[in-house]
């Protein structure tokens, strides 16, 4: 089978998910992406994409963002045409990191499987809608309506939809009225445990408030375990780092913020973590939780979104309310008797069925069902 993989993803959870799926595919893969994105194969076909709005003064951005959106749509149609030319059996279309949603590739010869890591939350979550800057809300209202239409139209055009968790599938059904098939995510094969001495608490995710790094710092202080906190993110954000350091100082917690590290460095941090805490708001799944467990780190995750699906509660980690006090209590429980060592062994052994080979084979099963249906319809 030949699969055309289309995406416009930069470094982050969705990109990591796609890279691991592609690596695990037992199929001929050809990648079509943009000059804005980070490729996931060694020999991608790249369509040029220039985004201008972020480089302009704020007052000039609204009309340019509309022009950028039109350019983005044209580029995705180009990706679709290239996929047609490749004579792929199936097109695997992934999200766009600029739109944070789906963009149409037009009607194509091959069936299209859309992967949705999460719906465009800004369109469907009242709390996020209310967070929009009131001074610019009217200026961008037309653009946001257009973006929503672009995303919904592209999702509706898919022949099948795949996603990462039962929680996200429920949100896709609520947002788009579409039924998505859940494909389990996993951890890279080299993420394994090692005989190390626990040295810190770990929190991994973008430097934004919804990831809950501040809750981790507060929990560390409340626990009284005197363990430093290491925060890992793809990209720096000076103002958020300053806020976290200020909180750490207040709580008497030693804090290190590390950005742009290698996978080898991340694996080492997972292995040396007394616990990995992921206290994000309504996270669609949480690769961090799965990867940490693969490396032998017990996890403490918030009882929101898809995070509970990644943990065998009270066996490989704890699922707690998204509160510093609850996370601190879990840390104290983990420190008693031989609890941390027991959970570490259980975490590395289980992974709760989350494996990339299952994700890849599940997607290939979807592709084969679509191809079978196409052949039946053609015969009819």
Tens-place pLDDT, residues 83-134: 999 999 999 999 999 999 999 999 999 999 999 999 998 888 876 766 677 7
The Cα 212–Cα 216 span in angstroms is: 7
Structure letter (DSSP) for residue 77: H
- At 133-161, the pLDDT tens digits run 777 777 788 899 999 999 999 999 999 99
What's residue 59's pLDDT?
Answer: 80
pLDDT tier for residue 284 given thresholds of 50, 70 and 90? very high
What's residue 125's pLDDT?
Answer: 80
- Cα separations in angstroms, 240 against 115, 252, 350: 31, 18, 35
Least Cα distance to 203 among 273, 271, 254, 262 occurs for 273
CA angle (100, 19, 290) in 5-degree steps: 85
What's residue 140's pLDDT?
Answer: 84
What's residue 134's pLDDT?
Answer: 74
Least Cα distance to 327 among 337, 317, 336 occurs for 317
What's residue 136's pLDDT?
Answer: 75
> Maximum CA pair distance of the chain?
71
Angle between helix 356-379 and 13-24 (nearest 10): 70
pLDDT tier for residue 21 given thresholds of 50, 70 and 90? very high
Q: Is the pTM of this model over 0.85?
A: yes
What's residue 160's pLDDT?
Answer: 98
Domains and CATH numbers, the chain: 2-186+356-379 (3.40.50.2000), 200-353 (3.40.50.2000)
Helix (H, G, I), strand (E, B) or coil at 182: strand
- Show Cβ contacts of residue 303 under 8 Å, excluding neighbours closer than 6 positions: 319, 320, 321, 322
- Cα separations in angstroms, 82 against 42, 44, 153, 211, 290: 17, 11, 20, 37, 35
pLDDT tier for residue 309 given thresholds of 50, 70 and 90? very high
pLDDT tier for residue 357 given thresholds of 50, 70 and 90? very high
Are 46 and 34 in contact by the 8 Å Cβ rule? The answer is yes
pLDDT tier for residue 378 given thresholds of 50, 70 and 90? low
- pLDDT at residue 376 greater than cutoff 70: no
What's residue 373's pLDDT?
Answer: 79
What's residue 352's pLDDT?
Answer: 64
- Show Cβ contacts of residue 238 under 8 Å, excluding neighbours closer than 6 positions: none
- pLDDT at residue 349 greater than cutoff 80: yes
Share of the chain above pLDDT 90, in %: 86
């Amino acid at each position: 089978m030949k699969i055309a993989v289309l995406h416009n993803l930069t470094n982050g959870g969705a990109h990591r998910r796609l890279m691991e799926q592609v690596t695990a595919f037992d199929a001929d893969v050809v990648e079509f992406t943009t000059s804005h994105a980070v490729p996931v194969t060694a020999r991608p076909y790249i369509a040029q994409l220039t985004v201008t709005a972020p480089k302009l003064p704020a007052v000039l951005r609204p009309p340019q963002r509309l022009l950028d959106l039109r350019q983005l749509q044209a580029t995705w149609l180009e990706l679709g045409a290239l996929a047609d030319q490749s004579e792929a059996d199936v097109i695997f279309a992934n999200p766009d990191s600029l739109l944070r949603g789906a963009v149409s590739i037009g009607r194509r010869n091959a069936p299209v499987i859309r992967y949705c890591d999460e719906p465009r939350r800004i369109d469907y979550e009242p709390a996020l809608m209310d967070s929009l800057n009131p001074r610019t809300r009217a200026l961008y209202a037309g653009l946001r309506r257009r973006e929503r239409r672009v995303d919904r139209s592209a999702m509706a055009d898919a022949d099948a939809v795949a996603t990462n968790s039962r929680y996200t599938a429920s949100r896709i059904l609520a947002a788009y009225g579409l039924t998505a098939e859940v494909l389990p995510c996993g951890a890279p094969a080299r993420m394994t445990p090692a005989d190390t001495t626990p040295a810190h608490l770990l929190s991994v995710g973008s430097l934004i408030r919804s990831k809950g790094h501040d809750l981790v710092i507060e929990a560390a202080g409340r626990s009284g375990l005197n363990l430093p906190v290491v925060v890992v993110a793809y990209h720096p954000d000076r103002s958020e780092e300053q806020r976290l350091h200020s909180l750490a100082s207040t709580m008497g917690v030693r804090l290190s913020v590390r950005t742009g590290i290698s996978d080898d460095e991340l694996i080492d941090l997972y292995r040396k973590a007394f616990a990995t805490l992921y206290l994000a708001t309504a996270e669609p799944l949480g690769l961090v939780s799965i990867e940490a467990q693969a490396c032998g780190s017990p996890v403490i995750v918030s009882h929101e979104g898809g995070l509970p699906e990644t943990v065998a509660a009270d066996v490989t980690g704890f699922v707690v309310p998204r509160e510093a006090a609850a996370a601190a209590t879990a840390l104290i429980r983990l420190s008693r008797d031989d609890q941390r060592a027991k959970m570490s062994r259980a975490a590395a052994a289980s992974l709760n069925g989350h494996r990339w080979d299952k994700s890849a084979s599940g997607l290939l099963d979807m592709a084969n069902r679509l191809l079978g249906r196409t052949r039946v319809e053609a015969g009819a």
